[in-house]
Structure 1
Amino acid sequence: MLWRVMAAWPGTVAGGVRSLGPATRFLGLFVLVVYGLSWVADTQTLLGVSPGLLGPPAFFLWPLVTHVFVEIGLGGLVCSLTTVRMTSPVAVSRFLEPVWGPSQLLLFFLAMSVTSGLMAALSALLAYAATSRDVLLFGAHFHGIAPLTGAFCAALAPGILLDSPLMSRPRIWLAIAVLTFFITWFGLFPLRCALGLVFGGLSGWGYLKVRPQKAIAAPRVPGAADVMVTFRRGLMRLGLLGGGGRRQLALKALDERLRKAGTATAWPSLESEVGEAETAITTATAESNQ
């Protein structure tokens, strides 16, 4: 079984890459390149937003575009690729790239990245003004996929149809922000992730207010059914739930039917029923003649 999964993995990955749009391929490739550079260079300082380096005399302005791609750990890399994958045309719902097009998606990403980077730098400057701690200017590095996640949520929120009144559209962002800050409070996520999610959501919302795009329609599908369908398709691609699995299910159903047929009662004889009917007719005819 493990060998079958390993043999099917390259084909599954190749098929997934072929199904991606051009903008999604570019974003995913850039994430991998920057992650590779993190092994040989200090990408947090060179490509991440450092508030003290944006202004004179350094003028590190390119991190406003590249900070979203900077990931250090393997977990962050997986989250980045998963978030970028959400824009592909083969997702369950119709997401960003199929509706907007590659050029509009890249423009949306550029505006979101620059705006969220400036918000992060401004928040660090305000914190420095309140505490006078130099580490907030030169030791704080804002990077990661959280702003892109928040911007995607802001773009997809108008197309989400929610049945629960507790999760109406005006309350979605409040619920996401509260949940993120609680997770950050318990130390599961760093503070930059929570700030990046909020700043990315605000920048994405502001961009859509200035430049409205086509509406993104999402079907009214229960979340549990959506997860099960996605999980089943993944198993079928890996060969774990293919023809062999269906064959086993068919054989099991046939075996149950045969067992029920073996324990069933015998059918009554048709000849005996016909004989009894003829006898009854003859008796009734004789009585009527008398």
Structure 2
Amino acid sequence: MAFTRAQASALLNKSEMRLFDDSRANALRGFDRAALASRVERTRAARDRARDLLKRQRLAARKRGDGRDDGIAARTARKEALLVELLQRFSDARREAPVKQAAAKSARKTTTKAAQKAVVKKVAAKKAVTKKAAAKKTVTKKAVTKKAAAKKAVVKKAVARKAVAKKAVVRATPNRAADTGATARKAVARKPAGKKPATRKAARRVSPERALENTRHLLEEKQARARSPQPWQSLDPVVDHAPQPGYQSPQAASKARELHAGESRMASIHGSSSTRDRYNQGKRDHRGDTE
């Protein structure tokens, strides 16, 4: 008896409905032998549970006197039949699985062999390319070394020719002219070398008296510049912008005299602190007198 999905959903729970969906023809093609074996075990366990429940329900119906074909027992019987059908599907698919696996293994082996051959070919091609490149490098290196050796030989020949020509020119000139020219060059080279250190030493030698005089002269010039009015101050001839020497005001002069008197410890004429206290106390005592 073939059950539809609507009928199965009314009899089975969620886990059992997954088994029902996996038992379809399209789903069975994608499972291997291990997956089918696990589904066979799960379906067998569900069938055993449904069979035990059916036995208990029939015994309870007989005790009540309802008979064997009770409504609840009938529903459980249909569920058992559905699970038996699912178990049969999974078992048949598992029997056919080894043949499929063997075909898949053979296909895998062929593909792996082809891949290995392709890899071997690639490795051989890479080796050949590297060998060609190494041969080219050796050829180019040899050519470069040959060219460098030829250039060195040409340069050596040119240097030898120049040396021979110089020797011939030196022999052709007289010895006296060469001596006079060498002595004149040495004299010219020695003269500026002797003058330079003399000028430096003369510039550095300054006596202490001369240095003090220069310093005083510079100080006087600075004071003169400070006392002279600035160019922009000459526009106002009424006001004398340049300060006069000495104190700027009588207050400043008196303050300076007080500071000088305090610093020189002059004798005080204001009396001692005790006399000042007695004077202040007498004023307080006669505060209420009306005379």
Same fold (TM over 0.5): no
Larger fraction in helix: 2
**TM bin (shorter chain):** under 0.3
TM-score, normalized by length of structure 1?
0.23
Question: Normalization by structure 2: what TM-score?
Answer: 0.23
Comparing both chains, which one has the higher relative contact order based on Cα–Cα distances under 8 Å and sequence gaps of 6 or more?
1
The structure with more radius of gyration = 2
